Structure 1
Amino acid sequence: MQKKVINPWKWQDARNYVQAVEVKNPEGTLYVSGQTAISDDGISSDADMRTQIFHTIENLEKVILASSYEIKNIVRLNIYHTNSAELFENFDVIQEWLTKNEIQQTSTVLEVKTLFETLKVELEATVVK
């Protein structure tokens, strides 16, 4: 797989995303459903936003690794959340995870009215191999 990042500007670098990612000759593409802070028993978290972000990232990683893909090859990460102020107060968790895993992805961040039950954040990813 060949991956090329396209950034005509520099300002997005501080926000941990890129404007476009071109992928050539992939072996496969994994489309991951929105992952949330749901336990292994299917119970939705009622924890605060920060705790749910950590749990959501853990669940996203489980799906990607169980599929024999690499976290660093996420090329699209959509973030759905129920409260912009709460998300951005805790956005350092996501930024540190992206940096640690050397992820360079396109993203959409979107506030929604509600998520399932008591959930506050959902991560949807596209990963290439």
Structure 2
Amino acid sequence: MDKRIINPWKWQDERSYAQAIEVKRAESTLYCSGQTAVNADGQSSTGDMRDQLTEAIQNLEQVIDEAGFECKNIVRLNVFTTSSDELFSCFDIFQDWVTKHDIKQASTLLEVKGLFETLKVELEATVVK
């Protein structure tokens, strides 16, 4: 698989995403449902944004790992949140995770009126290999 990052500018680098990703000769593509802070028993978290973001990332990693893919090959990552302000107050967690896995992804961040039950953040990914 070949990936090419398209960034006509530099400003997006501080925000941990790319303007576009071209993928050629992919062996397989994994489309992940939105992952949230729901535990193994199906209970939605009542924690704060920091805790929920951490758990959503862990759940996304688990889905990707169990499918036999790698986080470094996430090419699209959409973020849905009930509060952009709350999310940006703990955005270091997201940026550290992206850096740790050397993820280069196209992203969209949307603030939504609500998510399921008590959830505050949802991560929807596309991964290739």
- What's the TM-score, normalizing by structure 1? 0.99
Letter of the 2:117 partner, please give it: E
2:100 pairs with 1:100: yes
Deviation (angstroms), 1:20? 0.4
Secondary structure of the corresponding residue to residue 114 of structure 2: coil
Cα distance in 2 for residues equivalent to 1:9 and 1:83 = 27
Secondary structure of the corresponding residue to residue 34 of structure 1: coil
Cα distance in 2 for residues equivalent to 1:71 and 1:13 = 18
Deviation (angstroms), 1:58? 0.3
Partner of 2:77: 77
Gaps of 5+ in 2: none
Partner of 1:25: 25
CA RMSD of aligned residues (A): 0.4
Structure 1 stretches of 4+ moved >3 Å: none
Gaps of 5+ in 1: none
Secondary structure of the corresponding residue to residue 113 of structure 2: coil
2:14 pairs with 1:11: no
Pairs aligned (count): 129
Partner of 1:2: 2
Cα distance in 2 for residues equivalent to 1:27 and 1:97 = 25
Deviation (angstroms), 1:83? 0.6
Deviation (angstroms), 1:84? 1.1
Cα distance in 2 for residues equivalent to 1:47 and 1:9 = 36
**Percent of aligned pairs with the same residue?**
64
Partner of 2:116: 116
